[in-house]
Amino acid sequence: MAKPLTKTQLVAALADAMDSDKKSAGSALDAIIEVITKEVSGGGAVTLPGVGKIYCRERPARMVRNPATGEQIHKEADKVVKMTIAKALKDSVND
């Protein structure tokens, strides 16, 4: 498996794709991350065409087990960030 791109590598690739400099590509990436974070943390969802949908899902209160001791613990309701991958991306990986 290939190593994941670092932010620096992603910014460089984005700058090449945009025919722009790394500073503006970095600013664009930071702005996208900020918009996604704000929307999802507010309970909304963001769809990235061709990539997938990022959304927040609420999990109910439940009983969980401590794997070290086997003790049952009550866990309060919480929220978790999920991502559904777009079919186009799945298909491109399997080609």
Same domain, yes or no, for 31 and 57?
Answer: no
Same domain, yes or no, for 67 and 22?
Answer: no
Cα separation, 15 vs 26, in Å, equals 8
pLDDT at 2: 83
Same domain, yes or no, for 29 and 50?
Answer: no
pLDDT at 20: 92
Amino acid at the residue 48: L
Instruction: Say how many CA atoms lie within 13 Å of 84 toward its Cβ.
Output: 10
Q: How many CB atoms lie within 10 A of CB 3?
A: 6
pLDDT at 16: 95
Same domain, yes or no, for 64 and 91?
Answer: yes
Same domain, yes or no, for 15 and 35?
Answer: yes
Number of domains observed in the structure of the chain: 2
This prediction has a pTM of: 0.78
Same domain, yes or no, for 16 and 56?
Answer: no
pLDDT at 50: 92
Same domain, yes or no, for 24 and 53?
Answer: no
Same domain, yes or no, for 59 and 85?
Answer: yes
Whether the CB-CB separation of 12 and 23 falls below 8 Å is answered with: no
pLDDT tens digit at each of 95 positions of the chain? 789 999 999 999 999 999 999 999 999 999 999 999 999 999 999 999 999 999 999 999 999 999 999 999 999 999 999 999 999 999 999 87
pLDDT at 95: 78
> What torsion, rounded to 10 degrees, do the Cα atoms 34, 35, 39, 45 define?
-120
Same domain, yes or no, for 63 and 92?
Answer: yes
Cα separation, 33 vs 41, in Å, equals 12
Q: Which domain holds residue 63?
A: 45-95
